Amino acid sequence: MSNIGREISVGIAREPERGTPEVSEYWIPWRSFDVEDKIVSIPDAQAYGVIEDSTGLRVVSKWAEGAISGVIRGDAIGVFILAALGTPAGVSGSDASPTPGATAYEHVFTVLQEHQHPSFTIEVDDPFEASPVAFPLAMINSLEIVADINEHVLFTANVMSLPSVATPVTAAYESISGTPNDFIAEDMEIRVADDYDELEIASPKAIKSVTLTIEKDLEKDDILGDASPTDFLNKT
C-alpha cells in the first residue's frame, strides 16, 4: 500500500521528568513534519593488508532532529512557547469559561536565564511503520511565528531530541466541531509600548505581515560512555 504521509499523526507533551517519554497531551495537525533519527559515523581507515581505504564504520553519535510546522492552535502552541522561553509566569482571564470572541486569556512567559530549558516528548503514529515512536528530551532550536493577512497564523518549530524509541500509542485528535481554536489573521494584533503594563491600552498597529523568530542555538551535550547526548543546551 502506498504511503503519502498525510496519515502520520504527531503528538506532543511536556516532560515533568526530563528525558522520560510522556503520553501526548495534544495531537496536532501539521503542514510539514521531518523529525527523524540522525547519526554520525567514523570510518576505520587503518591498513588491513588490502587496498580499500576503509574497512568499516562505527556509529559515534545518535540523536534526532527536524522541524514541524502548522497552524497555531490555542492549546498546543503553549508547549512550544514554554520550551522556547523557559518559564510560564501565569495565566489570567476574566471568566473561567469566557464567551467565544468576547474575552481572551493572557498567558505570560518569561525567559529562563539558564542553558537548560524545559523539554517535551514528540510522539509519531505512522500506520506504515512497525510501531509508533516517541522522541524524548525534545528541545526547541528555533521557533518561528508568521502572520499574514487573509491567512492562518503559522508556526515552524525546529527541534532536537534523543533518538526515537518504540511506544504504544494511538492518536486521538480533538473534535473540530464547535468553536475553532486555530488562529487566523484577524486573531492577531501587534501593539508596541514603552512598558509592558501599557500594552493593554496601546493602539494596535496597522500591519499586514509579521514574522517572529526565537533562536536558541542548541548544542548537544555529548559525554564519554554514551553515543546519545545527555542533554541539549541552549547557548542563547
pLDDT for position 176 = 56
pLDDT for position 184 = 94
CA dist 236 → 63, 93, 111, 162, 214 (Å): 21, 32, 10, 21, 10
pLDDT for position 94 = 46
Domain, as residue range, for 181: 9-39+60-234
pLDDT for position 27 = 94
221 within a domain of the structure (yes/no): yes
The pTM of the full predicted model, rounded to 2 decimals, is: 0.87
pLDDT for position 208 = 95
Domain count, the chain: 1
CA dist 121 → 14, 110, 205 (Å): 6, 22, 37
**Mind giving me the DSSP string for 3-43?**
--STT-EEEEEE-SSTTS----SEE---SEE--EEEEEEEE
C-alpha cell at 219: 548544542
1 within a domain of the structure (yes/no): no
Segments in the chain below pLDDT 70: 1-4, 89-104, 175-180
